[in-house]
């Protein structure tokens, strides 16, 4: 049922919060929410492939959400992106990030930030099917 789906808009409505104008959201804000949404998608997928120990679930998830894997996922979907989606990615990739990656190169970290910005943008703009389509294509050979 549609009313049972947890979406950005439903969350905001539940707390009586006005939805942000998507055109004014910064790329790092998109990346902030995109990181979480992407992680939730991957965790859901990993759990769906079989109930196992939390350590195993964590290991499988971490492999797919690390910056290097996100860069590889982006490279798989790059040719499928619309001009608008590529613009969001580039804005995220080129944003001045004030943190550094612990276990990734600076280049991989920037691509991952762009990828997360794209995921956040798609989530916040209600394009969930498109987001899932891109994630599925991006991780096909990793999962």
Catalytic residue annotation: 35
Element (H, E) at 53: none
User: Cα–Cα distance between 65 and 88 in angstroms, integer?
Assistant: 19
Distance separating alpha carbons of residues 124 and 60, to the nearest angstrom? 26
Whole-number Å distance between alpha carbons of 61 and 43: 6
Q: Closest Cα to residue 9, out of 127, 130, 126, 131?
A: 126
User: Encoding tokens for residue 50?
Assistant: 């079989």
């Amino acid at each position: 049922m549609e009313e049972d789906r947890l979406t950005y808009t439903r969350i905001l409505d539940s707390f009586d919060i006005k939805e942000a104008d998507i055109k004014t959201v910064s790329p790092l804000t998109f990346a902030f929410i995109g990181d979480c949404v992407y992680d939730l998608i991957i965790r859901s997928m990993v759990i769906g492939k079989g109930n196992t120990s939390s350590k195993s679930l964590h290991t499988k998830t971490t492999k797919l959400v690390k910056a290097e894997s996100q860069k590889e996922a982006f490279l798989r979907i790059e040719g499928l992106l619309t001009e608008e989606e590529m613009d969001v990615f580039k804005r995220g990739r080129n944003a001045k990030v004030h943190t550094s990656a612990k276990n990734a190169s600076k280049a991989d970290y920037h691509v991952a930030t762009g990828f997360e910005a794209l995921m956040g943008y798609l989530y916040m703009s209600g394009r969930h099917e498109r987001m899932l389509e891109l994630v599925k294509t991006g991780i096909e050979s990793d999962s």
